């Protein structure tokens, strides 16, 4: 029997790339999965693919605090608890800082950093109750700044620093806080 059997897992950004692979693997391992994305069509396609599985997909822009709160509410209303939150939603950017608009960097931070903060803030009471896990999908860019990706690197440095602080805060709670830092992957990001 899989560790994930009957666990309730939220995966943000589950319509493409790493997120979609996580959703598929978790469902195959017996988890109950809630995911989100910005594309209604992609979510509909996922729901069709996983029609006979314990799966919910909801349109959510993680840069919007209210939409993150609704995502967490949906998980609780549907499955009654949250065991694992995987903060995966993210975007990238490619341009030299001198050529990048501040709006671009702000958007990257809003999704990559604030999206994880919002979702975790609303999920954490439930995760504390289940003594579950908060995870963040970061990047090697969270360890070293990548030229041409200054805003992306900053967002991943922020994510990792915040998760490290949260991990320390949660040491006596039974909650596990972790992050993964993949290198370059073949995905739409």
Known catalytic residues?
152
CA–CA dist 142, 101 (Å, integer) = 21
Side-chain-facing half-sphere of 16: CA atoms under 13 Å: 14
Helix, strand, coil abundance in the chain, percent, nearest 5: 50, 15, 35
* Cβ atoms < 10 Å from Cβ of 177: 23
Residue with tokens 């693997």: 25
């Amino acid at each position: 029997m899989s560790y994930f059997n009957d666990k309730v897992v939220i995966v943000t950004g589950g319509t493409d790339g790493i997120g979609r692979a996580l959703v598929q693997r978790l469902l195959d391992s017996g988890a109950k999965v809630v995911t989100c994305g910005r594309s209604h069509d992609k979510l509909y396609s996922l729901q069709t693919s996983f029609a006979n599985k314990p799966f919910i997909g909801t349109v959510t822009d993680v840069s919007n605090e209210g939409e993150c709160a609704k995502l967490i509410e949906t998980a609780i209303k549907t499955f009654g608890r949250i065991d694992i939150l995987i903060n995966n939603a993210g975007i990238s950017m490619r341009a030299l800082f001198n050529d990048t608009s501040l709006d671009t960097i702000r958007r990257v931070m809003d999704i990559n950093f604030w999206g994880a903060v919002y979702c975790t803030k609303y999920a954490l009471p439930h995760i504390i109750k289940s003594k579950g896990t908060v995870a963040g999908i970061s990047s090697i860019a969270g360890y070293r700044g990548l030229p041409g990706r200054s805003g992306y690197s900053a967002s991943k440095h922020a994510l990792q620093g915040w998760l490290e602080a949260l991990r320390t805060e949660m040491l006596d709670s039974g909650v596990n806080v972790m992050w993964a830092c993949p290198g370059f992957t073949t995905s739409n990001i």
